[in-house]
Structure 1
Amino acid sequence: MAKVVLILALCVLLPVLISASRPMSRPFRLQGRVYCDTCRAGFETSATTYIPRAKVRVECKDKEQKLLYSIEGTTDATGTYHILVHEDHGDETCDVVLVSSPLGHCRNADPGRDRARVVLTSYNGIVSDTRFANAMGFMKDEILSGCTTLLQSLMEEED
Protein backbone atom coordinates (compact mmCIF):
# COMPACT_ATOMS: atom_id res chain seq x y z
CA MET A 1 0.00 0.00 0.00
CA ALA A 2 2.83 2.39 0.87
CA LYS A 3 4.47 1.71 -2.50
CA VAL A 4 1.25 2.58 -4.34
CA VAL A 5 0.93 5.88 -2.44
CA LEU A 6 4.59 6.70 -3.11
CA ILE A 7 4.28 5.95 -6.84
CA LEU A 8 1.05 7.96 -7.06
CA ALA A 9 2.67 10.89 -5.26
CA LEU A 10 5.66 10.80 -7.61
CA CYS A 11 3.41 10.68 -10.68
CA VAL A 12 1.33 13.64 -9.53
CA LEU A 13 3.70 15.84 -7.51
CA LEU A 14 6.91 15.48 -9.49
CA PRO A 15 5.56 17.05 -12.72
CA VAL A 16 3.97 19.87 -10.70
CA LEU A 17 7.24 20.63 -8.90
CA ILE A 18 9.26 20.53 -12.13
CA SER A 19 6.88 22.84 -14.00
CA ALA A 20 6.75 25.28 -11.06
CA SER A 21 10.53 25.67 -10.98
CA ARG A 22 10.93 26.30 -14.72
CA PRO A 23 10.66 29.82 -16.16
CA MET A 24 7.49 30.68 -18.06
CA SER A 25 7.53 30.06 -21.81
CA ARG A 26 5.67 33.36 -22.39
CA PRO A 27 6.96 36.01 -19.98
CA PHE A 28 4.93 38.92 -18.71
CA ARG A 29 5.64 42.15 -20.59
CA LEU A 30 5.44 44.93 -18.01
CA GLN A 31 5.00 48.45 -19.39
CA GLY A 32 4.72 51.89 -17.80
CA ARG A 33 5.92 55.47 -18.04
CA VAL A 34 8.02 57.84 -15.96
CA TYR A 35 7.33 61.58 -16.08
CA CYS A 36 8.63 64.88 -14.77
CA ASP A 37 5.88 66.84 -13.00
CA THR A 38 6.84 70.28 -14.31
CA CYS A 39 3.97 72.00 -12.46
CA ARG A 40 4.39 70.05 -9.19
CA ALA A 41 0.66 69.29 -9.44
CA GLY A 42 0.89 65.68 -8.22
CA PHE A 43 -0.55 64.32 -11.46
CA GLU A 44 0.06 64.41 -15.21
CA THR A 45 -0.92 67.59 -17.06
CA SER A 46 -0.45 68.87 -20.61
CA ALA A 47 2.85 70.43 -19.42
CA THR A 48 4.18 67.08 -18.19
CA THR A 49 7.31 65.77 -19.89
CA TYR A 50 8.41 62.13 -19.98
CA ILE A 51 11.89 61.10 -18.88
CA PRO A 52 14.20 59.03 -21.08
CA ARG A 53 16.84 56.86 -19.33
CA ALA A 54 15.01 56.89 -15.97
CA LYS A 55 15.60 53.75 -13.91
CA VAL A 56 12.83 51.68 -12.33
CA ARG A 57 12.79 48.40 -10.41
CA VAL A 58 10.20 45.63 -10.06
CA GLU A 59 10.08 44.26 -6.50
CA CYS A 60 8.01 41.27 -5.43
CA LYS A 61 7.64 40.51 -1.72
CA ASP A 62 5.94 37.84 0.34
CA LYS A 63 3.43 38.47 3.12
CA GLU A 64 6.24 39.13 5.60
CA GLN A 65 7.65 41.83 3.24
CA LYS A 66 10.70 39.71 2.44
CA LEU A 67 12.06 40.57 -1.02
CA LEU A 68 11.77 37.51 -3.26
CA TYR A 69 12.31 38.97 -6.73
CA SER A 70 13.86 42.12 -8.17
CA ILE A 71 14.70 43.29 -11.69
CA GLU A 72 15.59 46.75 -13.03
CA GLY A 73 14.69 48.49 -16.26
CA THR A 74 15.30 51.78 -18.05
CA THR A 75 12.91 54.02 -19.96
CA ASP A 76 13.29 54.62 -23.68
CA ALA A 77 13.22 57.97 -25.52
CA THR A 78 9.46 58.32 -24.84
CA GLY A 79 9.81 57.73 -21.09
CA THR A 80 8.33 54.22 -21.41
CA TYR A 81 9.87 51.12 -19.83
CA HIS A 82 9.36 47.55 -21.00
CA ILE A 83 10.45 44.83 -18.58
CA LEU A 84 10.17 41.08 -19.19
CA VAL A 85 9.26 39.05 -16.09
CA HIS A 86 9.85 35.33 -16.65
CA GLU A 87 8.17 34.07 -13.46
CA ASP A 88 4.62 33.95 -12.10
CA HIS A 89 4.31 35.84 -8.79
CA GLY A 90 0.77 34.86 -7.83
CA ASP A 91 1.23 34.77 -4.04
CA GLU A 92 3.44 37.86 -3.92
CA THR A 93 2.88 41.61 -3.81
CA CYS A 94 4.70 43.25 -6.73
CA ASP A 95 5.43 46.94 -7.19
CA VAL A 96 7.35 48.96 -9.74
CA VAL A 97 9.37 51.63 -7.92
CA LEU A 98 11.32 54.64 -9.11
CA VAL A 99 15.09 54.29 -8.78
CA SER A 100 16.60 57.39 -10.39
CA SER A 101 16.14 60.19 -12.90
CA PRO A 102 18.91 61.39 -15.21
CA LEU A 103 17.51 64.95 -15.15
CA GLY A 104 19.30 67.15 -12.63
CA HIS A 105 16.33 69.52 -12.33
CA CYS A 106 13.79 66.70 -11.84
CA ARG A 107 15.21 64.15 -9.39
CA ASN A 108 12.86 64.15 -6.39
CA ALA A 109 10.31 61.35 -6.50
CA ASP A 110 6.71 62.50 -6.08
CA PRO A 111 5.49 60.91 -2.83
CA GLY A 112 2.43 58.89 -3.70
CA ARG A 113 3.46 58.58 -7.37
CA ASP A 114 6.81 56.88 -6.71
CA ARG A 115 5.49 53.30 -7.01
CA ALA A 116 2.84 51.36 -8.87
CA ARG A 117 1.28 48.01 -7.90
CA VAL A 118 1.26 45.37 -10.65
CA VAL A 119 -0.35 41.93 -10.95
CA LEU A 120 2.15 39.35 -12.20
CA THR A 121 0.21 36.11 -12.30
CA SER A 122 -1.62 34.12 -14.96
CA TYR A 123 -4.19 32.82 -12.47
CA ASN A 124 -6.47 35.87 -12.34
CA GLY A 125 -8.50 35.84 -15.56
CA ILE A 126 -6.33 38.29 -17.49
CA VAL A 127 -5.73 36.75 -20.91
CA SER A 128 -2.95 39.04 -22.11
CA ASP A 129 0.68 38.63 -21.05
CA THR A 130 1.10 42.41 -21.16
CA ARG A 131 0.74 44.19 -17.83
CA PHE A 132 0.42 47.97 -17.54
CA ALA A 133 1.59 49.94 -14.52
CA ASN A 134 0.36 53.41 -13.58
CA ALA A 135 2.68 56.26 -14.52
CA MET A 136 5.19 57.30 -11.88
CA GLY A 137 6.76 60.71 -11.51
CA PHE A 138 9.55 62.90 -10.33
CA MET A 139 8.92 66.55 -9.41
CA LYS A 140 10.75 69.45 -11.05
CA ASP A 141 12.72 71.64 -8.64
CA GLU A 142 11.29 74.91 -10.01
CA ILE A 143 7.72 75.20 -11.25
CA LEU A 144 7.49 75.84 -14.99
CA SER A 145 6.18 79.24 -16.03
CA GLY A 146 2.58 79.04 -17.17
CA CYS A 147 1.62 76.34 -14.66
CA THR A 148 -0.56 78.67 -12.62
CA THR A 149 -2.70 79.42 -15.66
CA LEU A 150 -2.79 75.74 -16.64
CA LEU A 151 -3.88 74.60 -13.16
CA GLN A 152 -6.51 77.36 -12.96
CA SER A 153 -7.97 76.25 -16.30
CA LEU A 154 -8.13 72.67 -15.02
CA MET A 155 -10.00 73.81 -11.91
CA GLU A 156 -12.48 75.79 -14.04
CA GLU A 157 -13.18 72.70 -16.17
CA GLU A 158 -13.86 70.73 -12.99
CA ASP A 159 -16.70 73.03 -11.90
Structure 2
Amino acid sequence: MAKSQAIILLAVVLCLVSLAGVSNADADQFSVEGMVYCDTCRLQFMTRVSSFMEGATVRLQCRNITTGIENYNAEAVTDKSGHYTFQVSGDYEDDICQITLVKSSNDDCSEIATEAIGQQGAQISLTSNNGEATPVRNANPLGFMKKEPLPECDAVIKELEMDFDEEGDDAGHDTSASGSGSGSEQGSGSGSEQLGSGWEKVPVSGSEGESAAGGESGSGSN
Protein backbone atom coordinates (compact mmCIF):
# COMPACT_ATOMS: atom_id res chain seq x y z
CA MET A 1 0.00 0.00 0.00
CA ALA A 2 2.77 2.38 1.00
CA LYS A 3 4.66 1.49 -2.17
CA SER A 4 1.60 2.26 -4.32
CA GLN A 5 1.17 5.65 -2.65
CA ALA A 6 4.83 6.46 -3.25
CA ILE A 7 4.49 5.60 -6.94
CA ILE A 8 1.36 7.76 -7.26
CA LEU A 9 3.10 10.66 -5.51
CA LEU A 10 6.10 10.37 -7.80
CA ALA A 11 3.84 10.36 -10.85
CA VAL A 12 2.06 13.51 -9.65
CA VAL A 13 5.39 15.28 -9.05
CA LEU A 14 6.67 14.35 -12.50
CA CYS A 15 3.42 15.57 -14.07
CA LEU A 16 3.67 18.93 -12.30
CA VAL A 17 7.31 19.35 -13.34
CA SER A 18 6.34 18.58 -16.93
CA LEU A 19 3.51 21.12 -16.91
CA ALA A 20 5.81 23.76 -15.44
CA GLY A 21 8.32 23.11 -18.20
CA VAL A 22 5.68 23.45 -20.91
CA SER A 23 4.40 26.66 -19.33
CA ASN A 24 7.88 28.19 -19.21
CA ALA A 25 8.57 27.14 -22.80
CA ASP A 26 5.34 28.78 -23.99
CA ALA A 27 6.12 31.96 -22.06
CA ASP A 28 9.52 32.25 -23.78
CA GLN A 29 8.22 31.91 -27.35
CA PHE A 30 7.49 35.17 -29.18
CA SER A 31 6.21 35.98 -32.65
CA VAL A 32 7.48 39.34 -33.92
CA GLU A 33 5.58 40.76 -36.89
CA GLY A 34 5.84 43.91 -38.96
CA MET A 35 5.66 45.51 -42.41
CA VAL A 36 8.13 47.14 -44.80
CA TYR A 37 6.97 49.80 -47.27
CA CYS A 38 8.32 52.10 -49.96
CA ASP A 39 8.24 55.70 -48.77
CA THR A 40 7.24 57.16 -52.12
CA CYS A 41 7.08 60.74 -50.82
CA ARG A 42 10.30 60.64 -48.73
CA LEU A 43 8.40 61.77 -45.63
CA GLN A 44 9.58 58.95 -43.32
CA PHE A 45 6.03 57.91 -42.56
CA MET A 46 3.31 56.15 -44.52
CA THR A 47 0.88 58.00 -46.78
CA ARG A 48 -1.95 56.98 -49.08
CA VAL A 49 0.54 56.56 -51.97
CA SER A 50 3.01 54.36 -50.06
CA SER A 51 3.36 50.76 -51.22
CA PHE A 52 4.33 47.64 -49.28
CA MET A 53 7.55 45.94 -50.40
CA GLU A 54 8.09 42.27 -51.17
CA GLY A 55 11.54 40.72 -50.73
CA ALA A 56 12.95 43.34 -48.35
CA THR A 57 15.35 42.18 -45.63
CA VAL A 58 15.12 43.29 -42.01
CA ARG A 59 17.20 42.45 -38.94
CA LEU A 60 16.16 41.87 -35.33
CA GLN A 61 18.88 42.49 -32.74
CA CYS A 62 18.77 42.34 -28.96
CA ARG A 63 21.57 43.90 -26.91
CA ASN A 64 21.99 43.95 -23.15
CA ILE A 65 20.88 47.34 -21.91
CA THR A 66 23.90 47.62 -19.57
CA THR A 67 26.81 45.94 -21.37
CA GLY A 68 25.70 46.33 -24.98
CA ILE A 69 26.50 42.67 -25.62
CA GLU A 70 24.47 41.21 -28.48
CA ASN A 71 22.29 38.32 -27.35
CA TYR A 72 20.13 37.84 -30.44
CA ASN A 73 20.58 38.48 -34.16
CA ALA A 74 18.37 37.23 -36.98
CA GLU A 75 17.14 38.35 -40.39
CA ALA A 76 13.80 37.93 -42.14
CA VAL A 77 12.49 38.65 -45.65
CA THR A 78 9.09 40.17 -46.41
CA ASP A 79 6.42 38.33 -48.37
CA LYS A 80 4.40 39.80 -51.24
CA SER A 81 2.31 41.86 -48.84
CA GLY A 82 5.41 43.40 -47.25
CA HIS A 83 4.93 41.36 -44.06
CA TYR A 84 7.72 39.66 -42.09
CA THR A 85 7.77 37.38 -39.04
CA PHE A 86 10.43 36.37 -36.51
CA GLN A 87 9.93 33.37 -34.24
CA VAL A 88 11.99 34.12 -31.13
CA SER A 89 12.82 31.73 -28.30
CA GLY A 90 13.96 33.09 -24.95
CA ASP A 91 13.21 36.02 -22.67
CA TYR A 92 15.11 39.28 -23.28
CA GLU A 93 13.90 41.37 -20.37
CA ASP A 94 17.34 42.95 -19.86
CA ASP A 95 17.86 43.74 -23.54
CA ILE A 96 16.92 46.45 -26.00
CA CYS A 97 15.46 44.69 -29.03
CA GLN A 98 15.21 46.58 -32.30
CA ILE A 99 14.24 45.82 -35.89
CA THR A 100 16.14 47.68 -38.61
CA LEU A 101 16.16 47.74 -42.40
CA VAL A 102 18.93 45.78 -44.12
CA LYS A 103 18.28 45.52 -47.85
CA SER A 104 15.62 46.72 -50.27
CA SER A 105 14.28 44.67 -53.15
CA ASN A 106 13.67 47.80 -55.22
CA ASP A 107 16.67 49.74 -56.55
CA ASP A 108 14.50 52.82 -57.04
CA CYS A 109 13.34 52.68 -53.44
CA SER A 110 16.35 51.63 -51.39
CA GLU A 111 17.49 54.65 -49.38
CA ILE A 112 17.60 54.28 -45.60
CA ALA A 113 17.11 57.54 -43.71
CA THR A 114 20.29 58.73 -41.98
CA GLU A 115 18.57 61.28 -39.74
CA ALA A 116 18.16 60.34 -36.08
CA ILE A 117 14.47 59.65 -36.54
CA GLY A 118 15.20 57.25 -39.37
CA GLN A 119 17.88 55.35 -37.48
CA GLN A 120 15.67 54.46 -34.54
CA GLY A 121 14.17 51.41 -36.19
CA ALA A 122 11.27 49.67 -34.49
CA GLN A 123 11.77 48.71 -30.85
CA ILE A 124 9.89 45.82 -29.28
CA SER A 125 9.75 44.18 -25.85
CA LEU A 126 10.62 40.48 -25.78
CA THR A 127 9.73 39.49 -22.24
CA SER A 128 6.72 37.94 -20.56
CA ASN A 129 7.19 40.27 -17.58
CA ASN A 130 5.83 43.41 -19.22
CA GLY A 131 2.11 42.87 -18.68
CA GLU A 132 1.34 41.86 -22.29
CA ALA A 133 -1.05 38.92 -22.41
CA THR A 134 -0.09 37.71 -25.88
CA PRO A 135 3.29 36.46 -27.16
CA VAL A 136 2.74 38.32 -30.44
CA ARG A 137 4.72 41.55 -30.84
CA ASN A 138 3.67 43.98 -33.59
CA ALA A 139 6.42 46.33 -34.71
CA ASN A 140 5.89 49.72 -36.34
CA PRO A 141 6.21 49.71 -40.16
CA LEU A 142 9.65 50.52 -41.58
CA GLY A 143 10.19 52.26 -44.91
CA PHE A 144 12.85 52.61 -47.57
CA MET A 145 12.78 56.01 -49.30
CA LYS A 146 12.24 56.37 -53.03
CA LYS A 147 14.96 58.24 -54.94
CA GLU A 148 12.54 60.87 -56.20
CA PRO A 149 9.08 61.63 -54.76
CA LEU A 150 6.06 60.70 -56.86
CA PRO A 151 4.34 63.59 -58.71
CA GLU A 152 1.22 63.20 -56.56
CA CYS A 153 3.21 63.75 -53.35
CA ASP A 154 2.62 67.52 -53.51
CA ALA A 155 -1.11 66.92 -53.26
CA VAL A 156 -0.58 64.40 -50.46
CA ILE A 157 1.48 66.88 -48.45
CA LYS A 158 -1.16 69.58 -48.90
CA GLU A 159 -3.84 67.17 -47.69
CA LEU A 160 -1.77 66.37 -44.61
CA GLU A 161 -1.16 70.05 -43.91
CA MET A 162 -4.89 70.76 -44.16
CA ASP A 163 -5.67 67.90 -41.78
CA PHE A 164 -3.23 69.15 -39.18
CA ASP A 165 -4.36 72.76 -39.61
CA GLU A 166 -7.96 71.71 -38.96
CA GLU A 167 -6.93 69.74 -35.87
CA GLY A 168 -4.95 72.73 -34.66
CA ASP A 169 -7.89 75.09 -35.15
CA ASP A 170 -10.19 72.74 -33.25
CA ALA A 171 -7.73 72.49 -30.37
CA GLY A 172 -7.31 76.27 -30.33
CA HIS A 173 -11.07 76.84 -30.19
CA ASP A 174 -11.43 74.36 -27.33
CA THR A 175 -8.71 75.97 -25.23
CA SER A 176 -9.98 79.47 -25.98
CA ALA A 177 -13.50 78.53 -24.88
CA SER A 178 -12.12 76.97 -21.72
CA GLY A 179 -10.06 80.08 -21.00
CA SER A 180 -13.02 82.40 -21.55
CA GLY A 181 -15.20 80.41 -19.17
CA SER A 182 -12.54 80.44 -16.51
CA GLY A 183 -12.00 84.16 -16.94
CA SER A 184 -15.68 85.03 -16.53
CA GLU A 185 -15.94 83.06 -13.32
CA GLN A 186 -12.59 83.89 -11.71
CA GLY A 187 -11.78 87.25 -13.17
CA SER A 188 -8.81 88.29 -15.26
CA GLY A 189 -5.66 86.23 -14.86
CA SER A 190 -6.28 82.53 -15.39
CA GLY A 191 -8.97 83.35 -17.97
CA SER A 192 -6.52 85.35 -20.06
CA GLU A 193 -3.93 82.58 -20.28
CA GLN A 194 -3.61 81.13 -23.78
CA LEU A 195 -2.86 77.42 -23.95
CA GLY A 196 -0.87 75.87 -26.79
CA SER A 197 -2.72 75.56 -30.08
CA GLY A 198 -2.56 72.82 -32.64
CA TRP A 199 -0.66 69.57 -32.98
CA GLU A 200 2.90 69.29 -34.11
CA LYS A 201 3.44 66.55 -36.69
CA VAL A 202 6.37 64.30 -35.81
CA PRO A 203 7.17 62.02 -38.74
CA VAL A 204 8.14 58.54 -37.65
CA SER A 205 8.83 55.37 -39.53
CA GLY A 206 5.73 53.62 -38.34
CA SER A 207 2.50 55.50 -39.10
CA GLU A 208 -0.40 53.58 -40.52
CA GLY A 209 -0.87 53.61 -44.30
CA GLU A 210 -3.61 52.74 -46.69
CA SER A 211 -1.94 50.57 -49.37
CA ALA A 212 -1.64 46.83 -48.87
CA ALA A 213 -1.81 43.54 -50.69
CA GLY A 214 -2.48 40.05 -49.39
CA GLY A 215 0.26 37.44 -49.08
CA GLU A 216 2.14 34.89 -46.99
CA SER A 217 4.31 35.85 -44.02
CA GLY A 218 8.13 35.74 -44.00
CA SER A 219 10.24 34.14 -41.27
CA GLY A 220 13.33 34.80 -39.16
CA SER A 221 15.71 32.43 -37.44
CA ASN A 222 18.00 32.64 -34.44
Shorter-chain TM-score range: 0.7 to 0.9
Classify the secondary structure of the residue corresponding to 2:26.
Answer: coil
Give the structure 1 partner of residue 71 of structure 2: 68
| Aligned 1:5-84 pairs, distance under 5 A | 24-25=25-26, 27-62=29-64, 63-84=66-87
**Aligned-partner Cα distance in 2 for 1:24–1:77:** 31
**Aligned-partner Cα distance in 1 for 2:156–2:49:** 8
| Residues paired across the two proteins, number | 139
Q: Which protein has the bigger helix share?
A: 2
Give the structure 1 partner of residue 146 of structure 2: 140
1:123 lines up with 2:125 in the alignment: no
Does the 8 A contact of 1:39 with 1:143 survive in 2? yes
Classify the secondary structure of the residue corresponding to 1:24.
Answer: helix
Unaligned 5+ residue runs, structure 1? 1-14
Residue 124 of structure 1: how far off its partner (Å): 1.1
Deviations 1:52-80 (A, max 9, x none): 11111110001222211111111111111
1:110 lines up with 2:113 in the alignment: yes
Residue 84 of structure 1: how far off its partner (Å): 0.5
**Aligned-partner Cα distance in 2 for 1:41–1:59:** 25
Classify the secondary structure of the residue corresponding to 2:79.
Answer: coil
Q: TM-score, normalised by structure 2?
A: 0.59
Unaligned 5+ residue runs, structure 2? 1-16, 166-222
Residue 25 of structure 1: how far off its partner (Å): 3.5
Q: Which amino acid aligns with 1:157?
A: D
Structure with higher Rg: it is 2
Runs (4+) off by over 2 Å: 23-26, 110-114
**Aligned-partner Cα distance in 2 for 1:90–1:133:** 17
**Aligned-partner Cα distance in 2 for 1:125–1:143:** 41
**Aligned-partner Cα distance in 2 for 1:55–1:113:** 16
Q: CA RMSD in A?
A: 1.7
Deviations 1:60-105 (A, max 9, x none): 0012222111111111111111110011111111101111111000
Q: TM-score, normalised by structure 1?
A: 0.82
Classify the secondary structure of the residue corresponding to 1:107.
Answer: strand
**Aligned-partner Cα distance in 2 for 1:86–1:105:** 36
Identity of aligned residues (%): 34
